[in-house]
């Protein structure tokens, strides 16, 4: 099928977009950075206005893009395919924020390591045939073999390592990528299709504000990348890293963070357990943060993990007077989140 021209009204940037290619994909490959988050239709942060032309909304779910919004000419850049030449404008700000971006690309890699590191959690290391430069906090998508399904996993390695990706994967019962592949047939030496980098979460330039990092489960992956990059490059004046789990079986890489804590007085590591008494912090990670800080004014935060934890953490930080514009969130949504918000909530509980 023919490609169509797609132009951004304010920036004037133009790209050719295949008839079966999402508009977001076309621009990111040209390194024209559009706002986005999940790349799978669940977050809504890639919404744009179609000023001229027509799109196919693809798999955009009704709760992210309502019938009324479609009628008003809105679309999700990560789902919309052009049906004609287009003139579009993202709803979110696309002003230059000083972060160096890297073009989206497809690369093949080889599984170099696959290790159980915590309850239902594996470290997956992939050696890439060609490097994928990225910013600390970003993610890649893996294609489930024999399907067109893509799943998102955040880089845990620092951006200085572009040819070997470290991913932390949590097992999801019944999940196509995890239950059916990464925790089933995947083996060292397998070839893997990788697409990236994606996402706007993370620390891409030096900042003045100290940062609180709150991770639930494998939400630790982008935090590890952020911590390693921030400490190596002096990006953040002071960092508190919180990692929440139910019991000690859910925690991992504590030795890495304790070693970093020993070498960097401005880095603090705080693992928290919600269902086990121990000599560390006990309680939900959000409650531990609440108890640790009487005020978070002038600080920033990065939250990553299950959507419920991320939302609870953001509320706690606002209660402690952190400015909402300094709270950055990455929610690990999955296919169940595409069904409807209420069904997704039932699946999680
Ligand atoms: C930006 C981003 C970054 C991420 N980073 C990470 C990371 O670093 N580490 C990590 O572990 N995860 C991460 N995730 C989550 C990850 O991408 C996958 O969603 C997760 O691994 C589950 O994938 P899966 O294919 O195994 O499960 P899926 O196939 O997506 O299934 C998920 C759940 O939905 C159910 N389900 C599927 N289809 C249906 C249906 N039709 N009806 C009812 N129920 C259904 C399944 O039974 C299962 O319980 C990230 C997600 C995002 C959006
Ligand atoms: S990036 Fe399009 S809905 Fe999340």
Secondary structure of the chain as H, E, C letters: CCEEEEEECCCCCEEEEECCCCHHHHHHHCCCCCCCCCCCCCCCCCEEEEEECCEECCCCCCCCCCHHHHHCCEEECCCCEECCCEEEEECCCCCCCCCCCCCCEEEEEEEEEEEEEECCEEEEEEEECCCCCCCCCCEEEEECCCCCCEEEEEECCCCCCCCEEEEEEECCCCCCCHHHHHCCCCCCCCEEEEEEEECCCCCCCCCCCCEEEEEEHHHHHHHHHHHHHHHHHCCCCCEEEEEEECCHHHCCCHHHHHHHHHHCCCEEEEEEECCCCCCCEECCHHHHHHHHCCCCCCCEEEEEECHHHHHHHHHHHHHCCCCHHHEEEEECCCCHHHHCHHHHHHHHC
Place of tokens 């489960």: 217
| pLDDT tens digits along 241-277 | 999 999 999 999 999 999 999 999 999 999 999 999 9
Phi and psi, residue 195, nearest 5°: -130, 130
Q: Which ligand is nearest to the CA of 39?
A: 2
- Please list the residues that pair with 270 across neighbouring strands: 242
What pLDDT sits at residue 349? Answer: 37
* Mean pLDDT computed over 50-73: 96
Is the C-beta atom of 41 inside 6 A of ligand 2?
yes
Does residue 348 carry a pLDDT above 70? no
Is the C-beta atom of 334 inside 6 A of ligand 1?
yes
Query: What's the whole-model pTM score?
Result: 0.95
Structure tokens at 281: 């912090």
Does residue 304 carry a pLDDT above 80? yes
Mean pLDDT score of the chain: 94
Is the C-beta atom of 333 inside 6 A of ligand 1?
yes
Using most ligand atoms within 8 A of CB, pick from 59, 152, 218 the residue to mutate for ligand 1. 152
Euclidean distance between CA atoms 210 and 17, whole angstroms? 41
* Structural domains of the chain in order of their starting residue, each with its CATH number: 3-90 (3.10.20.30), 105-198 (2.40.30.10), 211-331 (3.40.50.80)
Distance 59 CA to ligand 2 centre (A): 11
Distance 71 CA to ligand 2 centre (A): 19
Is the C-beta atom of 176 inside 6 A of ligand 1?
yes
Is the C-beta atom of 74 inside 6 A of ligand 1?
no
Does residue 225 carry a pLDDT above 50? yes
Ligand 2 atom at minimum distance from 46 CA = 2
Does residue 339 carry a pLDDT above 80? no
Among protein residues, the one with the nearest Cα to ligand 1's atom 1 is: 38
Q: Which of 86, 90, 87 is nearest to 76 (CA)?
A: 90
What pLDDT sits at residue 1? Answer: 61
Ligand 2 atom at minimum distance from 79 CA = 2
Q: What percent of the chain has pLDDT over 90?
A: 91
Is the C-beta atom of 39 inside 6 A of ligand 2?
yes
Longest dimension (CA), the chain: 63
Q: What percent of the chain has pLDDT over 70?
A: 97
Euclidean distance between CA atoms 90 and 94, whole angstroms? 7
What pLDDT sits at residue 337? Answer: 76
Structure tokens at 222: 């982008």
What pLDDT sits at residue 340? Answer: 60
* Mean pLDDT computed over 48-74: 96
Q: Count of CB atoms within 10 A of residue 113's CB?
A: 13
* Mean pLDDT computed over 201-229: 97
Q: Which ligand is nearest to the CA of 222?
A: 1
Using most ligand atoms within 8 A of CB, pick from 134, 153, 252, 339 the residue to mutate for ligand 1. 153
Provide the pLDDT confidence category of residue 95 given band limits of 50, 70 and 90. confident
* Mean pLDDT computed over 319-329: 96
Distance 258 CA to ligand 2 centre (A): 35
Q: Which ligand is nearest to the CA of 58?
A: 2
The CA-based dihedral angle spanning residues 87, 81, 143, 165, taken in that order and rounded to the nearest 10 degrees: 0
Does residue 344 carry a pLDDT above 60? no
């Amino acid at each position: 099928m023919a490609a169509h021209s797609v132009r951004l009204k304010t920036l004037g940037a133009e790209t050719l977009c295949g008839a079966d290619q999402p508009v977001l994909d076309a621009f990111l490959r040209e390194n024209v950075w559009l706002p986005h988050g999940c790349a799978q239709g669940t977050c809504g942060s890639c919404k744009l206005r179609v000023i001229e032309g027509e799109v196919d909304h693809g798999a955009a779910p009704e709760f992210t893009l309502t019938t009324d919004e479609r009628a008003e000419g809105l679309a999700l850049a990560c789902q919309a395919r052009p049906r004609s030449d287009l003139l579009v404008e993202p709803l979110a700000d696309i002003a230059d924020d000083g972060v160096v971006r890297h073009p989206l690309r497809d690369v093949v890699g080889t599984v170099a390591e696959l290790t159980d590191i915590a309850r239902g959690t594996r470290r997956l290391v992939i050696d890439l045939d060609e490097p994928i430069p990225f910013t600390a906090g970003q993610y890649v998508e893996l294609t489930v073999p024999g399907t067109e399904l893509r799943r998102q996993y955040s880089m845990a390695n620092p951006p200085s390592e572009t040819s070997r990706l470290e991913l932390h994967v949590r097992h999801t019962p019944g999940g196509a990528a995890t239950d059916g592949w990464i925790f089933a047939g995947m083996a060292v030496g397998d070839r893997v299709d990788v697409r990236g980098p994606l996402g706007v979460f993370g620390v891409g330039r030096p900042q003045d504000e100290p940062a609180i990092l709150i991770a639930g489960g494998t939400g630790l992956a982008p935090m590890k990348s952020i911590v390693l990059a921030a400490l190596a490059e002096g990006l953040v004046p002071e960092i508190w890293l919180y990692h929440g789990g139910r019991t000690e079986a859910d925690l991992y890489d504590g030795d890495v963070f304790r070693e970093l804590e020993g070498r960097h007085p401005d880095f603090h590591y705080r693992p928290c357990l919600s269902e086990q008494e121990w000599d560390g912090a006990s309680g939900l990670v959000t409650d531990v943060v609440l108890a640790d800080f009487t005020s978070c004014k002038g600080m920033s935060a990065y939250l990553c993990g299950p959507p419920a934890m991320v939302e609870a953490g953001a509320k706690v930080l606002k209660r402690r007077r952190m400015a909402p514009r300094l709270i950055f969130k990455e929610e690990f949504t999955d296919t169940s989140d595409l069904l409807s918000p209420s069904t997704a909530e039932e699946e999680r509980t």
